[in-house]
Amino acid sequence: MITFTRGKLSKMSGVHIETIRFYENEGVLPEPKRAHNGYRLYDKKYVLMLSFITEARKLDFSLKEIREIITSLFEKQSKTEAEQLLEQKVEDIQKSIQELKKRKAAIQLLTKQTLANIS
């Protein structure tokens, strides 16, 4: 297995070193193996994880949600569990869309009633 340092991981993934360190401290990225000199050693799965994290953050996933999915996929190797977590996110978005539609309708009604009373 080919391994590399955090600096190389940063270059390969396009994620800043401090961001990688933050994800490790928050438990989003699992603890990497260490060389005999204490250096962290990463492999290609960390590039995949960082790619997923980057895209998930763009889609407003919380760090907790990302941590759960990363744990399911890369540590437990449970695609089913990860899929369930992702499907739950889709359901949550659907609920938010419905709630926003209700709020929109309520605001439109309020606007109509307010303007009718002023005229």
d(CA 44, CA 28): 16
In this prediction, residue 115 carries a pLDDT of 87
Contact 79, 87 (CB under 8 A): no
In this prediction, residue 116 carries a pLDDT of 86
C-alpha distances (whole Å) from 45 to each of 1, 21, 29, 63, 118 are 11, 16, 10, 18, 63
Residue 2 has φ and ψ, to the nearest 5°, of: -85, 130
Q: Over the stretch 77-117, which tens digit does the pLDDT of each residue have?
A: 888 999 999 999 999 999 999 999 999 999 999 999 998 88
In this prediction, residue 119 carries a pLDDT of 66
| Residue 109 C-alpha from the chain's centroid | 36
Q: Give Dmax over CA atoms of the chain in angstroms.
A: 80
Residues in the chain: 119
Q: Over the stretch 49-86, which tens digit does the pLDDT of each residue have?
A: 999 999 999 999 999 999 999 999 888 888 899 999 99
Closest Cα partner for 30 from 16, 45, 15, 51? Answer: 45
d(CA 91, CA 15): 29
CATH no. for 1-77: 1.10.1660.10
